[in-house]
Amino acid sequence: MTISMGSTSNVISLTRKLEAKNGKGSSQPEKGSRTRVIAITSGKGGVGKTNIVANLGISLSRLGKKVMIFDADLGLGNLDILLGLTPKYNFSHVTLGEKTLSEIIVEGPCNVKILPASSGIQEMANLSKEQTAGLLSDLYEVIDPIDILLIDTAAGISSNVMYFNAIAQEVLVVVSPEPTSITDAYALMKILSIRYGVKQFKLLVNMVSDFQEAHEVYRQLKLVAERFLDITIEYIGHVNYDKNITRGVRQQKAVCDLYPDTQASRCFNSLAVKLCQSQAPVSPLKNTRLFWKELIHNKLDFTKP
């Protein structure tokens, strides 16, 4: 299977179109300008990141927010499976030009909108920079009515993971108490800081017994980051280990739906409230025409070999 989205000349054309559409002197509000974009990521797989994204999205929706979840694990997406959804189309159809992004959106629990990824298509896991820019341009067009866009990245430090983290206003790193998870989370933040200029991170500690265990993980990461990296890590919360999460996965339901009063569900609700009470960072590149120009020419380095 071969996927092609054009050459650098197509990207230059895209840049010109975006600049014309969002030209100087325009008095019209820009699409997506009100949407808060949060990337939820992890260095290591198996830390429960997608489960957190799904339950956080539902909790935010219950607080009155219009939420969309972008499954950015493009080659091995499983958010739809986790929520018991069976989308007919996914990102592979958009990349092949068969569908538009708006045509693949499906509705999940509590009116959460889902942009489903493909599964088992290797080429989708390694999109070119041109393809990524085209996808992001399309994404910008469909998030206008959305309050919060949650980007569920793939695990690891691949180019796709870095791109989707770099475009977000906020990067929320999910980590578990395992030493390998802590080490990989540090490596992820290091690369995002040095190569992509991301300097502020939120930390969520998953699968812990209590607040003390979670805060110790945060303390370890913060100590090392302050010593070796020029970044800020904010502790945003934790999710207790809860056997009801596993039960929910088996039934393809979010734990917030099945067991709204269980320990994990209360953690997700607290996290959603905390996010709603906090202000999104002011970032001139995330909500203006400058964002796309910067993304195409610098963040994704299209003109570099």
Tokens standing for residue 33: 């300008």
**pLDDT value for 184:** 95
Give me the number of domains the chain comprises.
1
35, part of any domain = yes
Range of the domain at 216: 31-298
115, part of any domain = yes
228, part of any domain = yes
Distance, CA of 57 to CA of 89 (rounded, Å): 21
Nearest to 271 by CA among 234, 219, 233: 234
Distance, CA of 140 to CA of 102 (rounded, Å): 11
Output the domain CATH number for residue 237. Answer: 3.40.50.300
271, part of any domain = yes
pTM: 0.82
Distance, CA of 174 to CA of 51 (rounded, Å): 11
Tokens standing for residue 247: 């039960």
Distance, CA of 35 to CA of 31 (rounded, Å): 9
305, part of any domain = no
Tracing tokens 């009470």 back to the chain, one arrives at 277
13, part of any domain = no
17, part of any domain = no
DSSP string, 256-274: HHH-TTSHHHHHHHHHHHH
Nearest to 110 by CA among 274, 258, 275, 240: 258
Identify the sign of the CA torsion 241, 243, 244, 249. positive
**pLDDT value for 125:** 55
Distance, CA of 139 to CA of 68 (rounded, Å): 11
Tokens standing for residue 150: 């949650």
Tokens standing for residue 3: 């996927």
Distance, CA of 66 to CA of 58 (rounded, Å): 10
Distance, CA of 30 to CA of 24 (rounded, Å): 12
Question: What is the full per-residue pLDDT of the chain (305 aa) written as tens digits?
Answer: 433 444 334 333 434 443 444 444 444 445 545 789 999 999 888 899 999 999 999 999 999 999 999 998 876 778 989 999 988 998 888 877 898 889 999 999 999 999 998 765 555 556 666 677 777 777 877 887 899 999 999 888 887 788 889 888 899 999 999 999 999 999 999 999 999 899 999 999 999 999 999 999 999 999 999 899 999 999 999 999 999 999 999 999 999 999 999 999 999 999 999 999 998 776 544 444 445 445 545 555 543 43
Beta strands 148-153 and 67-72: pairing type? Answer: parallel
Q: Could you tell me how many residues make up the chain?
A: 305
Tracing tokens 């320990």 back to the chain, one arrives at 263
25, part of any domain = no
Element (H, E) at 240: strand 232-240
